[in-house]
Every structure is written in structure tokens, then in C-alpha cells.
Structure 1
Amino acid sequence: MSVIENELPITQRVVRTSLGDINVAEVGSGPVLVMLHGGGPGASGVSNYHQNLPALAARFRVVLPDQPGFGGSYRPTEADLDARSITEITVDALYQALDALGIETFHLLGNSLGGAAAIAMAQARPERVTGLVLMAPGGGWLPFGPTPTEGQKEMFRYFNGTGPSEKKMASFIRTMVFDHRQFGADVVKARYEASLDESHIAFYHRYNAAFAQRHGMDPLWRDLPEIKAPTLLLWGRDDRTITLEGAQIMLKYIRNVQLHVFGDCGHWVQLERAREFERHVADFLGDLS
């Protein structure tokens, strides 16, 4: 068991699946809320959402898996990524992990890469997802401008060339957020240090190569009508990674959907507008519980 800054206890466990081990953190009680992190260097369930847990754990049993390739979970091989996309792998692994935990139905929240996994999970097993929150999700979005976007380029650049550095992490964070001044040197250092695991770096090179070979994320937008869960879209107006204009297809094809846009906010809504993010999530999902 570990704690976050305000002494809130977090239970950590490793769940065995046929693909590999999935690290899962849990905190709080109530209706289950599965929260999926993004795909940036050093990302994990707890690191991406730790600042939001005190508010959300008061209302929900929050389940935070590390997706395959990240945190304490197993690293997909080159053969794995040749056979299936990272989203397909993640959906398989996470449903196996949730089954092992005895979780049948749940609310689901995902950001960026985790948003793509959340969309795919809601499409694959719509009867299990009771409420869906998507924060600038990959796969369900159709860009109006050129790709890769500015934020995607920074993500690809981070592990390439001379490899990770605090300077490159600072540049990455500046692209992810609207006002980087709210994230000091301590945040840069922590994210940089979290990105240095050699197995994660090796996975990231495999992941980037597979991403390029597949020409981006899975085209999940084609099956958006398969989502049955009431859906809340949360987006930063100034997102330079998964841009707001691309949300139009989700608004058109998800049956029960609403959108909230945050001005002066980039790709990390949960960090940049933490209290508003928590309120919107708790109110929307609380009405469904």
C-alpha cells in the first residue's frame, strides 16, 4: 500500500492476464470508476491522476490500471505490436484484469491514448460501461489540420535522437499545456525520472515504429455509434495534441453525448483545470450511479 500527498491510501496489486501482468492501483469506495492514463513518456495511472484522487475517491472506487507498456505493467513485444495495435492489446489486457478483479460493470474515463482504449472498450462490450468520460481521446477524433500534430511530434521526439533529458521533458510539457508556468522544475524532474526505465524506453521505440507503420491510431471513429453509454467529452480549447475541431465527429455519432470545453487549457485537463475536471466528472457520473 502507498499514499499520495494528503495521506490517502492507495492499494497496489499485480493482476495476471494471458498477455502479461497488469499493475492496478485502487482507492476509495462506491461505484467503480476505471481511469486510463495518456501515452506520454513516464505516464502511469497514479502519476497522471494522483492530484484528482482525493475528490474522486470520496465518491467512487477508483481503479487505475497501468496500460501495457507503461508503469508497472508488462511491455508488449515487437511481435505483439505487429499482430495487433496497442489499443487492441490494451482492451484485451484490461478486460482480463477487470474480470480477475470481479468488476463486471463500471464507469470509464480515458485521456489521449487512454481515451482511445476507453472508446474501444465501450465499443467492444457496451453492456459493461455504465458511463464514459473522454478527454481529448485518440482514435475517435478526425483532425482538421496536418498530422502528426505539434504535441504528437514532441512525444515522438522525446526518446529519439540523444534520448531523454530534462530539457526535452520541459519542452514536451510546454506543448501539452496552455500555461507551462504552473508546472515547475519539480514536475519536470519527476516526469523525466519516471521516463528512464530501460524497458519502457525500449517499448516506446517499438510503439512509435508500430504507430508509424499503422499510420496512426486505430480508426475508432468508424464505429462511434456502437457506444451506448452516456458520454461526456472534456476538451481544452487550446489542445495542440488532439485538437478540439476533431471532436465534431464524436458529437455527431455518439448517441448520448455532451461536450464541455475549457478555455486557456491544453491537453492535460485533469491537471490544468483540476477542480473543475473533478466536479464535472463527479456530477456527470454521480447522476448515472
Structure 2
Amino acid sequence: MTATAELTYESTRATVEIDGLTLNYHEAGTGEPLIMLHGSGPGVSAWTNFRHNLPVFADRFRTIMPDMPGFGASELPELGEVYTLAAARWIARLMDHLGIETVSLIGNSMGGAVAAELAALYPERVRRIAIMGSGGLSVGIFGAEPSEGFKRLFEFLETPSRAGMIAWIETMVSNRELITEELVDERMANATAEGVIPRMKQIFGSMFDPARRANYTPLWTRAQSFTTPTLMLWGRDDRMLPYDGAHVANRLLPEVELHTFARCGHWIQVERKAEFERVAIEFLTRDSAA
């Protein structure tokens, strides 16, 4: 695998075709396998979400960061079910291709929902999950729906503009100094590339489609049956999936810990990088018999 001192987009990148679908992923490091699943924002990919964290995790794990189906350089399959459930099945297929029997997972936002779906589908294959500002298990208690972050996201999808991208990014972080011209340029270029917005509309459409939802049991209603040890990480100032959404799952999951970061929004891996890495690694490497 690539040495952590040499990690670049191209040096870590690989593609694979599984059942006719091309999936893009990044891999670095050796050891116990860890899959990191990104969120769903405009212009997101595994690399944009986790590239600054990859060297730290690759020092400890065989770290794999897939572009989930329909994001980044991965193709979007036909969606006959809610996206997060479909994506979990594709990540399991990727595990099969890579020869991974059991895995730990880190999931950010929508990636947290996919990680939880995977643990629910195949509990024997998932050792631990650390989910950050996660969908799926999140249940809003006090805030209005949709959240401010989702409003800005859907506004951007309907009318893409630089101002709309900045408005959305502002809901992702507590510290606005992190919103640089370079960041906005990168996310705008990714989000407005050919086919990206139509794919995002299909993905979100599957999650709100009444016909698909009629055949889907929400993750949070299954929380008491989970067997996978779970760490929930939340920014106290999250305006995408607000902090109050953590408490139902925190009460219902049988094996759960909740770690909250002050002065932090939705992008924990950016705003509280070192603390996120420290807390997640401690949880993922903890002796399960202790």
C-alpha cells in the first residue's frame, strides 16, 4: 500500500467494476480494515471529505475511502429502494471484492446512515462504527424540519450559484474562517460538473419518495436491535443534522457512546480534526473484551 508520506489523490486511487457498476475508492495503510464513508453535500467525494484525515488513519489501519454510488467518480445504479440501504449493499459488495470479511466503519452524515444500514444488514461483518452527525439514526426533537443546512442544500440543487454554495457551506461549520476561496472553488467545480446535480436529485428523491419509503423501516426504529458497538460524534453547533437528533439513538442503542464537540458544526473531521482522530481511533482500537 502507499506510504502515508506519499498520499495523493492519484497515488491512493483505484477503480473496480462490480456487477456492471464502476466504483471509485482510495486506499492506504495496512492492518485491520477501516472503511470511511463520506456525506452527501454538493461536490462531495471521499477525497474532499477525508483527505486530510487519511494519513492519520492509514498509520493504524488498512484505510479504504469509497466514493459512494453516484458521488465523486462512482456511477449511480438504478435505485429501487431508499438510497442509504442500496448504498450499504454496494459497500458490502466492495468489501467482497477487496477480500474484507469484517470491518470497522467511520461514517459522516449520510455516510453514517450507510454505515448503520450496513451494520444492520450484516452485523457479523461490522466490528464497530463511529458515526459523525449521522443521518438514519438521527431523530429531530426540537428543531424545525428541514434543518437550515438541508434548506440551503436543496436551494443550491434547484439554483446552483456561488452564493448558494457559500450559504450552504456556512451551515457546515462553526468557524467561518474555514470557508476559503479555494474551498468554495473546489466544491463549485465538483458540484457543477456534468451529471452531478441530476444524480444528487435522484439520490435525495429516493429517500423522500413515498413508494420507496412505504417499504422501508427507518433505522432509528430498529436501534434497539443493533448489536454493533457504536460511537456517535456530534458538533454541538451542527446546523445540518442538529445535536438534539442524537438523543433518541443514544437512548435506544444497546452499545453506544456519545461524544460532543463544542464550537463545532457538521464537519467535525475538519473543525476538530485532531480530537476527532484521537477519539475515533481510541474507540476503534479498544479491546472489545475490556
TM-score (normalizing by structure 2): 0.91
Q: 1:104–1:75: structure 2 CA closer, same or farther, 3 Å change rule? A: same
- Cα deviation per residue 1:37-89 (whole Å; 9 max; x = unaligned)? 0000111111100111121111111110111110111123xxx33x2111121
Q: 1:183–1:288: structure 2 CA closer, same or farther, 3 Å change rule? A: farther
Is residue 181 from structure 1 mapped to residue 150 from structure 2 by the alignment? no
Q: 2:108 aligns with which of 105, 108, 111?
A: 111
Identical-residue share of aligned pairs (%): 38
Q: 1:151 aligns with which of 149, 152, 155?
A: 149
The equivalences for 1:1-289 within 5 A come to: 7-8=6-7, 10-18=11-19, 20-76=21-77, 80-81=78-79, 83-144=80-141, 145-161=143-159, 163=160, 165-214=161-210, 219-288=218-287
Q: Per the alignment, in what secondary structure is the counterpart of residue 119 of structure 1? A: helix
Q: 1:24–1:288: structure 2 CA closer, same or farther, 3 Å change rule? A: farther
Query: Aligned letter for 1:188?
Result: V
Shift in Å at residue 254 of structure 1? 1.2
- Cα deviation per residue 1:140-189 (whole Å; 9 max; x = unaligned)? 1110122111011111111213x2x2222111110111112123111111
Shift in Å at residue 256 of structure 1? 1.2
Do 1:22 and 1:67's aligned partners in 2 also have CA atoms closer than 8 Å?
yes
Do 2:136 and 2:220's aligned partners in 1 also have CA atoms closer than 8 Å?
yes
Could you tell me how far apart the structure 2 residues matched to 1:152 and 1:101 are? 34
Q: What value does the CA root-mean-square deviation take over the aligned residues?
A: 2.1
What is the aligned length?
A: 282
Is 147-156 or 191-200 further displaced after alignment?
191-200
Could you tell me how far apart the structure 2 residues matched to 1:243 and 1:15 are? 36
Is 49-58 or 208-217 further displaced after alignment?
208-217
Shift in Å at residue 205 of structure 1? 2.3
Q: Gaps spanning 5+ residues in structure 1: where?
A: none
- Cα deviation per residue 1:248-274 (whole Å; 9 max; x = unaligned)? 111112111111100010101001100
Could you tell me how far apart the structure 1 residues matched to 2:189 and 2:32 are? 34
Shift in Å at residue 19 of structure 1? 5.8
Is 63-72 or 216-225 further displaced after alignment?
216-225
Do 1:155 and 1:172's aligned partners in 2 also have CA atoms closer than 8 Å?
yes
Could you tell me how far apart the structure 2 residues matched to 1:168 and 1:28 are? 37
Shift in Å at residue 218 of structure 1? 6.4
